Amino acid sequence: MPNAPRLRLVLGDQLNLNISSLRDADPSHDLILMCELSVEATYVRHHKQKLVLVLSAMRHFAKQLKEEGFKVRYLRLDDTENSGSFTAEIEKILSSSDCRHCVMTEPGEYRLKLQFEQWQQAHPEYTLEVREDDRFLCRHEEFRQWTEGRKQLRMEYFYRWMRRRYKLLMDGEQPVGGNWNLDAQNRNPLPDTQRPPKPVRFPPDRITQEVIDLVEDRFHNHFGDLHEFGWGVTAAHAKEALDSFIRERLPLFGDYQDAMRAGDPWLYHSHLSVYINLGLLDPMQAIRAAEAAYESGSAPLNAVEGFIRQILGWREFVRGLYWLWMPDYPRLNYLQADRPLPGFYWDAKTDMHCLQQCIQDTHKHAYAHHIQRLMVLGNFALLAGIDPTAVNEWYLLVYADAYEWVELPNVHGMILYADGGALASKPYAAGGAYINRMSNYCTRCRYDVKQKTGTNACPFNYLYWHFLERNINLLRHNPRMALAYRNLERMKEELREETNRSAQIFLQQLD
């Protein structure tokens, strides 16, 4: 029957009228189901701002659907009829109506995919149609075909393939400007006199304030602060944030995308991943806006290429790897790291100013930019040998843009090297000199970044060499680690012993 009613399930990170599950929805027949579930808020204890962002955006999207004429069954967290399960709510509707068919867009996380598959197997009397999430720019099968016959999977080559495929920043078959990747031009420290524009923030409306009150009441013991909540919660907000970035920050984004500064977490970054991952902003819309800025002369190539690479390259690449490697991927622990996560990742009570600053920013905003995540917070976890399971949970929990499909490959592979190089060609390990070069954190630290050993030395310095020593059998044959190991071998034995001693004392105190 062409007009038979269908149930349409929309998940909390699929807030887009053009999502595959809604594209052919009939307002006169179909029912849209949206659910706020306690288990989704607590399977990891998500940052309070993440909870407010998702729940408020869901409520605004449901309101939009109703204004478009759709029938919406919306279950709030505090509804007495809320069963607490997506599949139970689907079954409740299908068993009490003429509808036997549910349509949904595939979930972004493996745990949910498994949940829906198991329910369908247990209930063959109903049809659960799961459609591919075509908000992404590379379909699962296309990614698998790209991987075939490759000994190593590297983002750079995937990115070039995607650039050619979508004809982005291309001059025929060659990249505009002659180089595919301009990352070498994007590593400037931020001058003290440089004052980035303030990011667009959105004061909470009535719906958002209701959600803030709800989260403070029900999830008051979760990580994070709600006093400065200012994320957008609608597609219109996301578009405004995109326009502001293109106009005000993109021109200098490239130059300073790796820079860090105390008390200034936003800098020239876009902060758009929050909206793209939630469904409020289409990734290709952001990419084309950046390309148009280059073509009009309002933004330089290094900035535009770097921004496009983050979305077209990294975002699509890690999502492809996630679905290629699950469910075994999170169990890998190549470096056999097993140290518990230090308490200061929660309360920022550490004398290491760089870590303190990044954790405080994260607590306050549910945000830190990629270099803070990789080269400060992640670098410390790598050097200290912290258990990957604990680190992955922390990153998934604390950031507003974190979903397992993007968090897991970035943290497990890129940050922790727990996959032994399946994603990254080397561990991204560094001493204090890198942080000192790219930030002003070290000027306010109780440790001395120029000292290599002893109680006053920057812990990153001796932890770096201790990391190399500890993993010498696993890493010394990696061609990209050859220089580091040559430098270790040249180190005088006395200094080498003192370095290891300093690291062992610090790690014992950490434990």
Residue 126 lies in a domain: yes
Q: Dump pLDDT digits (tens) for 119-145.
A: 999 999 999 999 999 999 999 999 999
372 and 485 part of one domain: yes
Tell me the C-alpha distance between 211 and 54, whole Å. Answer: 10
178 and 276 part of one domain: yes
Q: Dump pLDDT digits (tens) for 262-300.
A: 999 999 999 999 999 999 999 999 999 999 999 999 999
Q: Are strands 170-171 and 174-175 parallel, antiparallel or unpaired?
A: antiparallel
For the segment 150-162, the average pLDDT, to the nearest whole number, is: 96
For the segment 58-87, the average pLDDT, to the nearest whole number, is: 96
Q: Which residues contact 284 (CB under 8 A, 6 or more apart)?
A: 137, 166
Distances from the Cα of 208 to the Cαs of 53, 214, 221, in angstroms? 8, 10, 19
Q: Two tokens at 209? A: 């304030």
144 and 245 part of one domain: yes
Tell me the C-alpha distance between 347 and 345, whole Å. Answer: 6
pLDDT at 386 over 70: yes
For the segment 200-210, the average pLDDT, to the nearest whole number, is: 97
Residue 216 lies in a domain: no
356 and 479 part of one domain: yes
Residue 449 lies in a domain: yes
Q: Two tokens at 110? A: 């493996």
Tell me the C-alpha distance between 432 and 437, whole Å. Answer: 9
Residue 218 lies in a domain: no
Percent share of the chain, pLDDT over 70: 99
Q: Which DSSP category does 420 fall into?
A: S
106 and 252 part of one domain: no
- CATH code (residue 26): 3.40.50.620
pLDDT at res. 3: 67
195 and 72 part of one domain: no
Percent share of the chain, pLDDT over 90: 98
The total of structural domains in the chain comes to: 3
pTM of the model: 0.96
pLDDT at 1 over 50: no
pLDDT at 506 over 90: yes
pLDDT at 60 over 50: yes
296-300: long-range contacts, CB 8 A cutoff, minimum separation 24: 298/246, 298/247, 298/250, 298/251, 299/246, 299/250, 299/251, 299/253, 300/251, 300/254
Going by pLDDT thresholds of 50, 70 and 90, the confidence category of residue 355 is very high
- CATH code (residue 421): 1.10.579.10
Domain's final residue, options 325, 353, 370: 325
b/e per residue 99-125 (b: at least 16 CB within 10 A): beebbbbbbbbbebbeebeebbeeeee
Backbone φ and ψ for 345, nearest 5 degrees, come out as -65, -20
Q: What angle do CA 209, 14, 285 make, to 5 degrees?
A: 100
- CATH code (residue 280): 1.25.40.80
Residue 60 belongs to domain spanning: 7-131
Q: Dump pLDDT digits (tens) for 450-465.
A: 999 999 999 999 999 9
pLDDT at res. 4: 78
117 and 168 part of one domain: no
Displacement of CA 159 from its chain's centroid (Å): 18
Q: Which DSSP category does 448 fall into?
A: B
pLDDT at res. 2: 53
Domain's final residue, options 279, 297, 325: 325
Nearest partner of 224 among 42, 51, 46, 47, judged by Cα: 47
Q: Two tokens at 394? A: 């922390």
Domain's final residue, options 78, 110, 131: 131
Residue 229 lies in a domain: no
Q: What is residue 74's three-state secondary structure? A: strand
* Sign of CA pseudo-dihedral 98, 104, 110, 112: negative
Residue 225 lies in a domain: no
- What is the side-by-side order of every strand in the sheet holding 31-35? 71-75, 31-35, 7-9, 101-105, 127-131
The per-type count for the chain, helices as H runs and strands as E runs, is 24, 7
247 and 282 part of one domain: yes
Q: Amino acid letter at 141?
A: E
394 and 247 part of one domain: no
- Averaged confidence pLDDT in the chain: 96
DSSP string, 332-372: --TT---BPPPTHHHH---S-HHHHHHHHHHHHHS---HHI
Q: Which DSSP category does 376 fall into?
A: I
Bridge partner list, 386: 339
79 and 159 part of one domain: no
17 and 121 part of one domain: yes
194 and 78 part of one domain: no
Residue 253 lies in a domain: yes
What spatial distance separates the first Cα and last Cα of the chain, rounded to whole Å? 65
Q: What is the 3-state secondary structure (H, E, C) of 180-214?
A: CCCHHHCCCCCCCCCCCCCCCCCCCCHHHHHHHHH
- Residue 507 backbone zone (phi > 0: left; psi -120 to 50: alpha; other: beta): alpha
Residue 226 lies in a domain: no
pLDDT at res. 98: 84
